[in-house]
Amino acid sequence: MMPDRTKAPEVRPFGFRTLPCDTIERMRNGATLHTLVGGTQAVGQMSMLFSGGTHDLANPTVCAMASTLVSEGAGRYSGAEIADKMDFSGAVFLSHSSAHYTGFGATVLSHRLPDILPLLKSMAEAPEFSERSIENSRRVLSARLKMDEAKVMYRAGVEFRKMVYGAGHPQAHVRTQEEIEAVGRDELLGFHASLVKPEGLHVYLAGGFGEPTVDAVKKFLLSLEAPQPEAEGIVRKEEKPAPEAPGTIFTEMEGSVQTAVCAGMPSISRTSADFIPLRMAVMALGGYFGSRLMTNIREEKGLTYNIDAFLAALHDGAAVNIQAQCNSDNVDEVVDEIRKELRGMAENPPEGRELERLKLTAMTGLVETLDSPLSISGYRQLELVTGTPRNYFEEQQRIISELTPEMLGEMASLYLRPDDLRVSIAGPGRGRL
C-alpha cells in the first residue's frame, strides 16, 4: 500500500535510548583500551590519546604541530611511504590536540587495520620531524593565522575569551607568529618524548573489527615503548578562570565589511547538577534554527544572517557564547535584542509548542550519536577530553523529558543575567563602549 503523501507523517517520541557500553581494559603497561566492536559497515577507527595537551605547554603550537607531523616521516618510513601505505589500506590519518590530550590514529577498512599498525608504532616511537616538514607546517600555520586575524569574528572572539576566562588563562591564549617560528625540531622531539608513554594512554577502537584484529591491537599496545623512557611526563596544568568585569570592548578593523559580536558570560562546569538544564536554556535561547535569538534578530528584524548561542565547557572552565555578524549600523540594536532575549528567558520561558519543539530538537541531536560505532566512540572520547560524566547521555534524556518552563526560567534567572554580559565587538568604525 502506497503512503498518502498529502498527509504529514506522525511525529512520535523517540523513547529512552541507552548509549552502548564500550569494553574498557587496562593493559599491564598502563595503557587503557576502549573497544566498541559492531556496526554493519566494514570500516573502523582507532584513536590514540596521550596525556598532555595545549593547556599544559608554554607554547601550545608545539602540540598542534607534533600531532600532525608524526605522519610526515617516522622510523623507516618516509612521509610519502606512510601516505602510500595508508591509502592502499583505505585509511585516513587522524590527528588530535586538545586542552590535556594529544594523539593520532586512523579511520580504516576494518580488515586492513593490522597492516597499518606498524606505521602507527613508528609514529609513536620514532617520528622524524624533518626540518622540511617543520618549515612547511610553519608556513601553513602562519598563513592560517594571517587569514584569521583579518576576520572580524576571530578578533571579537579573542577579546571575548579574555573577558570570560581572564587574559592569562589557557582558554584565552592567542597563537602568535613568534610562537610558530619558535617551534623547532628539538622542541618537537622533547615534547614527543615526554608525551608518548603507555601509562595514561587511552586507545579507542570502534567499528567492524573481528577478534583477531582486537588481539592484534592489544599486542601492538603492549609493544609500545616511550621514545625516551627516562624523559619526564607532561605535568597536567589546570587553572581556574579569572573573568573580567561585565562590560563591552571594541576592536577597530578598518576595511571590514561587517561587524562581529561575541557576547556571553562565565558559566558552570559539567559536574554541576544545573549544567544540562542550563544547556537546554541556552539551546532555547540560540541553539537551533527556531530559537529565540534566531527568530527575533534574524527572521523578524533581519539584522543578521545567522546568530547562535552555545554553552562551552572543558575541565578548565565554561562560558555561554552568543555570536553574530551584522551591519555596523545595527550593532547596538543586536546587542539590545540579545539583552532583551536574556531577560525574556527568565520572565517568559518557553512553553507549549515552543517547549515541545525544543525537546524534539534536543533529542534529535542526541540520538544522532547512536548512528554508528564511530560516532558512539567519538562521544566516549569527549568524556575523557571534556570531563563529561559517564552517564551524561542518559541524564540528558531524563532532563529533556522532564523539562518545564519553570526549570528553564530558573536557569535563565541564575545563569543568563543580562547584567553579567560580556560583549566583544570587532569591525569598522566605533562601536558602543
Residues 171, 317 contacting (CB under 8 angstroms): yes
Q: What is the chain's length?
A: 433
Query: Of 204, 192, 19, 194, which is closest to residue 106 (Cα–Cα)?
Result: 204
CA–CA gap between residue 292 and residue 360 (Å, rounded): 16
Instruction: Give the pLDDT band of residue 433 (cuts 50, 70, 90).
Output: very low
Residue 250 has pLDDT above 90, yes or no: yes
Residue 37 has pLDDT above 50, yes or no: yes
Instruction: Give the pLDDT band of residue 1 (cuts 50, 70, 90).
Output: low
- Tens of pLDDT, residue by residue over 271-323, are 899 999 999 999 999 999 999 999 999 999 999 999 999 999 988 899 999 99
Q: Give the count of beta carbons closer than 10 Å to the beta carbon of residue 232.
A: 9
Domain covering 23-223, topology: Cytochrome Bc1 Complex; Chain A, domain 1 (3.30.830)
Query: Of 110, 97, 101, 94, which is closest to residue 217 (Cα–Cα)?
Result: 110
CATH topology match: 23-223 vs 247-427: yes
Percentage of residues of the chain with pLDDT beyond 70: 99
pLDDT value of position 431: 46
CA–CA gap between residue 177 and residue 142 (Å, rounded): 6
Residue 126 has pLDDT above 50, yes or no: yes
Q: Give the count of beta carbons closer than 10 Å to the beta carbon of residue 432.
A: 11
334 is written with which cell numbers?
Answer: 543586536
Q: Give DSSP secondary structure letters for 189-257.
A: HHHHHHH--STT-EEEEEES--HHHHHHHHHHHHH---SSTTSPPPPP------PPPSEEEEEE-TT-S
Q: Where are the domains of the chain?
A: 23-223, 247-427
Task: Among 3.30.830.10, 3.30.70.360, 3.40.50.720, 3.40.640.10, name the CATH number for the domain at 247-427.
Answer: 3.30.830.10
Residue 238 has pLDDT above 90, yes or no: no
- Rounded (10°) angle between helices 113-125 and 79-88: 160
